[in-house]
């Protein structure tokens, strides 16, 4: 998360915050030994919260044979840690709800949260987890960052073409506008609230848990939370297309769930939704009839047997191995041997492709031309070997400041080109400021115990549907003119080509 966004979040007075009761429970949960009577005393301070705990303990979620009449009995039946997680779930759901009119569809947001929480409870039981209520809490909070971003960036979710029933579409919108998604923001919030590491990690990986190393003991917990959100989307989407097949593959890859087991999770979740509605006193009516959803899911999920899926995966594995060998041969031609960035030949090809895609999809495309300042003096003073070391560290710096979807290529000598797809001028300005700060605060090792500082000048040109360029050559030429302007006006700065036009028409 960028310092700029973090600063805006910290200064936002309407940011979601836990209730005083929730703060007390979080503090209690972090203590080495929890005082049972003190915890029950906290619950008794909020009759509505205590009532929800009792209602849950007596619900079909647990099917306890005898009626539970007081909180002490509820804690004994549910377990202390489970009751703490439940209490936080109910308390936070109450405090985080808002009626502020904005771009975010709050009704849809809470539907997804509650369906995901229910699905995560079922997934946890299916996969043999013991911390079911902790999973439930993590799943309810996995999209918490959306509430925060909606308070700070009022028009973020207000795009007319944004489909909020499709989470991938939401993440793409966040990444395009802010270059950060709500999972990172939610994790940051939980850090401020002093939540345990496992819950924060689950929220961090909720959009893409593959970034969590499989050997991490908390990985399966995060996989379960992420899959619950994707299952909730099954009940909320207006159109499923190939989505069900994608969920089937993720369920098997992440939690080793067969299509039959996944189908059972969907059916059990559907059966528990009325109970969730009662506990939270809300309406979870979905876009499509639940039975129709289950029928469509059954047809899709059971279309191929698990054995067939294994055979396909073996075939894919063999194909991937062959492709990897072929790709290794191509790597030597694609990447500059000194810096590891794209070679000039492959860069030219990639520029053409990126520009054609931007035209076809009517999207933004930004090029940033970077030229190291006074680089010739580095070679003259310290030698070409030192110059090569600076070029290598320059490439690492540039790559560290861009997304995985962006590309960095060596244009020639000490010149580099950054290709930033789906990036507006505003977003590009943030990237440029980060790059300049990184170079200003970095020393380059050129020999043992010898470091030097080198700055960079940047030139930026952005193609947009409203202000298009006719071809990639013109766009590249504009970025080149912009970097020349930076070099001739003091270096160690960035210049946007369109702003040169305003200052001095060409």
* Count of residues in the chain: 506
- From the list 216, 233, 226, the residue with the least C-alpha distance to 254 is 226
Cα–Cα distance between 108 and 383 in angstroms, integer?
62
Q: How far is CA 296 from CA 65, 233, 327, 388, in A?
A: 35, 14, 39, 59
Quick check: 98 and 17 in contact, CB under 8 A? no
- From the list 423, 441, 429, the residue with the least C-alpha distance to 493 is 429
Cα–Cα distance between 385 and 447 in angstroms, integer?
9
Quick check: 437 and 431 in contact, CB under 8 A? no
Pairing state of beta strands 456-463 and 494-496?
A: parallel
* Pair of tokens at residue 164: 């909020």
Within 13 A of 297's CA, how many CA atoms are on the CB side? Answer: 25
Q: Residues with catalytic annotation?
A: 414
Quick check: 132 and 124 in contact, CB under 8 A? yes
Cα–Cα distance between 305 and 205 in angstroms, integer?
29
Cα–Cα distance between 463 and 430 in angstroms, integer?
17
* Pair of tokens at residue 207: 């959009």
Quick check: 417 and 472 in contact, CB under 8 A? no
Quick check: 115 and 269 in contact, CB under 8 A? yes
Run of H or E residues at 415: strand 415-421
* Pair of tokens at residue 192: 């401020």
- From the list 293, 294, 261, 279, the residue with the least C-alpha distance to 114 is 279
Maximum pairwise Cα distance, the chain: 86
Quick check: 169 and 177 in contact, CB under 8 A? no
Residue located via tokens 């860069």: 347
DSSP result, 122-178:
HHHHHTT-S-HHHHHHHHHHTTHHHHHHHHHSTTTT--TT--TT-HHHHHHHHHHHH
Number of CB atoms found within 10 A of residue 328's CB: 9
């Amino acid at each position: 998360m960028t310092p700029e966004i973090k600063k805006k979040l910290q200064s936002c007075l309407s940011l979601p915050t836990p209730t005083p009761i929730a703060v007390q429970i979080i503090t209690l949960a972090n203590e080495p030994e929890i005082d049972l009577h003190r915890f029950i005393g906290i619950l008794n301070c909020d009759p509505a919260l205590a009532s929800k705990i009792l209602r849950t303990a007596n619900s079909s979620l647990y099917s306890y044979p005898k009626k539970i009449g007081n909180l002490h009995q509820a804690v004994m039946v549910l377990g202390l840690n489970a009751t703490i997680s439940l209490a936080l779930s109910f308390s936070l759901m109450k405090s985080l709800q808002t009626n502020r009119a904005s771009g975010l569809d709050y009704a849809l947001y809470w539907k997804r949260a509650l369906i995901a929480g229910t699905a995560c409870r079922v997934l946890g039981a299916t996969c043999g987890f013991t911390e079911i209520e902790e999973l439930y809490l993590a799943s309810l909070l996995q999209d918490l960052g959306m509430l925060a971003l909606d308070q700070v960036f009022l028009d973020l979710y207000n795009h007319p073409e944004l489909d909020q029933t499709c989470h991938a579409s939401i993440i793409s919108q966040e990444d395009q506008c802010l270059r950060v998604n709500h999972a990172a923001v939610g994790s940051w919030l939980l850090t401020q609230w002093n939540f345990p590491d496992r819950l924060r990690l689950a929220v961090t990986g909720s959009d893409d848990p593959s970034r969590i190393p499989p050997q991490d003991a908390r990985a399966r917990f995060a996989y379960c939370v992420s899959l619950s959100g994707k299952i909730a989307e099954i009940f909320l989407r207006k159109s499923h297309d190939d989505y069900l097949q994608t969920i089937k593959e993720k369920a098997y890859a992440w939690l080793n769930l067969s299509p039959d087991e996944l189908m059972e999770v969907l059916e059990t979740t559907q059966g528990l939704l009325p109970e969730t509605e009662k506990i939270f006193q809300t309406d979870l009516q979905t876009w499509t009839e639940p039975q129709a959803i289950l029928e469509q899911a059954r047809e899709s999920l059971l279309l191929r047997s698990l054995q067939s899926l294994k055979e396909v995966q073996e075939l894919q594995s063999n194909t991937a191995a062959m492709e990897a060998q072929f790709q290794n041969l191509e790597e030597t031609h694609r990447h500059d041997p000194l810096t590891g960035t794209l070679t000039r030949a492959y860069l030219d090809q990639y520029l053409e492709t990126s520009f054609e895609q931007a035209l076809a999809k009517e999207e933004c495309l930004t090029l940033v031309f970077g030229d190291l300042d006074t680089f010739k003096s580095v070679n003259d003073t310290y030698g070409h070997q030192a110059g090569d070391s600076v070029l290598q560290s320059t490439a690492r710096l540039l790559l560290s400041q861009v997304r995985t979807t962006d590309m960095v290529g060596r244009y020639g000598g000490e010149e580099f080109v950054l290709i930033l797809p789906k990036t507006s001028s505003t977003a590009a300005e943030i990237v440029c400021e980060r790059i300049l700060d990184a170079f200003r605060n970095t020393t380059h090792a050129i020999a043992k115990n010898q470091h030097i500082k080198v700055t960079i000048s940047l030139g930026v040109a952005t193609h947009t549907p409203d202000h298009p360029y006719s071809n990639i050559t013109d766009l590249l030429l504009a970025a080149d003119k912009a970097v020349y302007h930076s070099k001739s006006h003091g270096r160690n700065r960035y210049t946007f080509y369109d702003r040169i036009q305003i200052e001095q028409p060409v």
